[in-house]
Amino acid sequence: MRHTPPVRSQDSETAALDLNVGVTERATQTERAGRKQTRAVVFAAFTVAAIATLTKVPHLLRAAEPERVSTSKRALAPATFYGLDTRLLKSAAREIPPGATYAVVSGGAGPSRFVRIAEKTLLDYWLLPRRRTNLRSSQWIVSIGGDLQSLGLRYTHVVRAGDGMELAHRLR
Amino acid sequence: MRTAGPLVLDVALLGLGEAVLVGLGVVRSRGQALRCIGLAFIVGWCVLGTALVYVLILGASLELWQPIALAAALAAVALALGRVIPAQADLVERGERGAAQVIAVSAAAFLVGYLALLGLHSALTTSPTGWDTWAFWLPRAKAIYFFHGLHPQLHGGFASFAHPDYPPLLPAFDATVFRFAGAASVLALPFQDWLLAAAFVAAAAVLLRRRVRPAVLWPALCLLVLAPQFGASIGEGYADPQLARLVALAAVCGGVWVLERDGRLLVLTGILLVGASLTKREGLGLALMLAVALAVAARVEGGRGWSRALLLVPTVIVAVLPWQVWLHFEHVAYTPDYSLRTLLHPRYLLDRLGRLSTALEHLPRVALSFDHWLLVLPLALLLAVLAIRARSSLAVLVLGLIGTGYLGLACVYWIGTLPVTVYMRTSASRVVASLVLLAGALTPLVASELLRKGHAPSHPNHDIQDGV
C-alpha cells in the first residue's frame, strides 16, 4: 500500500509528525468508508428483518386475538388439547372428596397406552389435594381400562366415568 | 380475591424490586422508579422467589404472611443499603428527530399495542396446556399450596411428580400466587406470566436506553417480541420462557457492564442469574456460561475489573447449593434426564455419537426456524460478525454465548437418557429459546455500537452522580 509522501519539514520531529498525519488521514478515510459500509449493511439487515416480520404480523394478531373462554373450558384445556376424555376428571373431582387418597389401575381395555399415561398424569394434577398413593393404602380406586373385580377388593359403590373408566370407593 | 389477590402480590414484587434498585443506586427519583418499573418487577420476582425457595427448604409452609414479611424485610435491607451506596449516573442516549423519531415512536407504539393484546389474550383465553406444565410444574405448585410446604416424604406430595430435582422457584412462586388468590387458581397464572414477559421488554428497554438510540432500540425490540415463539410461550406454564427471559436480561445487563464497568450492573446480572439458576436445571449451566463469557468479553474490551465477572461463578453455585443439599438429605429419589459425569466416559460417548450428530443438526434448524423466531438469530449473528472489528468485545460475547450454548445443548442431548428424537421433539424448541432470546436482546446493543460515528465511548467508573 502506497502512502502519501510526507510533507518536508525543517526538523526530523516535525517530519515524523507529518508522516503520521498522512497515514492517520488515510487510515481515517479508510475507516470512515468501512464504517459507512457497515452502517449500510446494518440498515439493510434491519430492513430485511423488518419486512420479514411484517409478513407474519397478520398471523400474530390472529393468534393473539383475545377471546373470552369459559373458566371450565380453560381449566379443562390440558385434557381437550390432548384429546382426552374429560368425563373422568369431572367425575373423579366430584366423587372423591378433597383430602382422600386414590390409586390408579389401568389395563388393556379402553384407550391406547399413550392416552392411559396421559390420563393418569393429568389425574394427579387435576385431583390435588387428593393424593395418589398405592393400592393398599388408597381409599378410592380409579380404573382406566382396568378390571376392578380382579383386584380382590370390596367397594361401597362404583361410578362409571366414561368408556372403560370407573371410580370405586373401597369398603374398609 | 381470586383476581385481585395476585395483583397484591405483584405490587409487593414491584415494591421489593424498586427497593433493591434504590439500594443499588439505580433509582433515586420518581421518574426513574417509573422508568424502571419492568426491571423492578423482574428483580423483585428473582429476589423474593430466591428467598421463598430458601424458606421452603428450611421447612416454611408459605402461608400468606410469609411472602409479605419476607418482601418487607428484604425491602428494608435494600433501602438501608441505598443510604450508603451512591446513585448511578442516569445516562440516556440522545433523542430522535424527523424520520428517526417517527420510526422510534411507531415501533414503540406497535410494541406496546401488541403486548397489550397478548396481555388480554393471557387473561381471557390462555390455558396452561403444556405436558410438563401439568405433569410436574403445576402439581408441584399445588402440592406446596395444599400441603403447606415441600414435605418430600408425603406420598402424592411435592416429590411424587416427575423431575423432583428441578429447582423449585417457579412452583414456589405459583404457590404464592395461589395463596394470594385464596385458591389453587391455575388460570391466574398465564396473566402473571404475561406480566413477567412485559416486564422483560420494559427492563431490556431501560437497560439498553443508556447506550442505544431510540430509532434502533424500539424497532430491534419489536423484532424480538414479534417472533411468534415469544407470544406463544406466554402462559403455557413451562419454566423455559421465564428462564430465557432472565438469561437474556442478564446478558443485556452484563453486555452494558462490559462497556461501562459499573459494578451495579454486575450485581443486577448476578441477581438475575441466581433467579435463572433456581428456575430450571439448565439455568445454572447458562449462568456459568454467561459469567465466563462476560469476563472474556470484558478482557477483550480492555480496562480494569474484567475478572469481577468471574465472581458470578461462585455466586450462582452457592445459590443452588442449598437445594442440592436438601435433595441429598431428604433422600429425594429421582432419575435425571442426563448426568454430566457421563461426559468423562469416552466409551459411553462414542457409543452415542449418532445422538450428537442428530442434536448438532436439529438444534440450528429449530433456532433458525422462521415460523418460531423469524430472523432474530440470523440478524444477531450477522451483526456480531460485523462487530468483530468495530466492537470485538460484544462480538465475543454474542458469538461466544451462542457457540458455547449450542454445543452445551448438543452435549445434553448427546448424554441424555431419553430416546434422542423424542427428547428433541419435546424440548428442543423450548431450550433454544434462551439462546435466541439472549441473541435478540443483545442485538440493539451491538447494532448501536456498529452505527456509532467513531469508536463508542465507554464510561468506566462513571458511577457517582448524586441526585439523578
Q: What percent of chain B has pLDDT over 70?
A: 96
Task: Point out the residue among B120, B133, B226 whose CB comes nearest to the CB of A57.
Answer: B226
Confidence (pTM)? 0.91
Residue B12 in any domain: the answer is yes
Rounded to whole angstroms, the Cα distance separating B207 from B91 reads 10
C-beta atoms of A39 and B142 within 8 A? no
Residue-wise pLDDT for B296-307, tens only, equals: 999 999 878 888
Q: Does A133 touch chain B (CB under 8 A)?
A: yes
Mutate to test the interface with B, among A37, A42, A54, A84 (most CBs of B within 10 A): A42
In a domain, B146, yes or no: yes
Average pLDDT (A60-84) is 89
Is 70 exceeded by the pLDDT of residue B265? yes
User: Which of the two residues, B455 and B111, has the higher pLDDT score?
Assistant: B111
Number of domains in chain B: 1
Average pLDDT over residues A64-80: 89
Q: Give contacts of A63 with chain B, Cβ < 8 Å.
A: 228, 231-232
Tell me the ipTM for this assembly: 0.86
Residue B422 lies in a domain: yes
Comparison of pLDDT for A165 and B246, the residue scoring more: B246
Q: What are B393's three cell numbers? A: 468485545
Look at residue A100 in the predicted model and tell me its pLDDT.
93
Residue B95 has pLDDT above 80, yes or no: no
Judge whether residue A151 has pLDDT over 90: no
Structural domain that includes position B350: 4-88+101-333+340-451
- Comparing B453 with A39, the larger pLDDT belongs to A39
A11 secondary structure, DSSP code: S
**Domain assignment present for B384:** yes
Per-residue pLDDT of B411-421, as tens digits, reads 999 998 888 88
Q: Which residue has the higher pLDDT, B50 or B89?
A: B50
Output the pLDDT for position B464.
31
Q: What's the pLDDT tens digit per position in B319-363?
A: 999 999 999 999 888 877 888 888 888 898 998 899 999 999 999
Predicted pLDDT of residue A19: 47
Grade residue B7 by pLDDT with cuts at 50, 70 and 90. very high
The pLDDT mean for chain B works out to 91
A78: nearest CA partner in chain B:
B129
Q: Tell me, what's the pLDDT at A24?
A: 57
How much is the pLDDT for B467? 29
Residue B460 lies in a domain: no
Does residue B259 surpass a pLDDT of 80? yes
pLDDT at B186: 92
Q: Does residue B397 sit within a domain?
A: yes
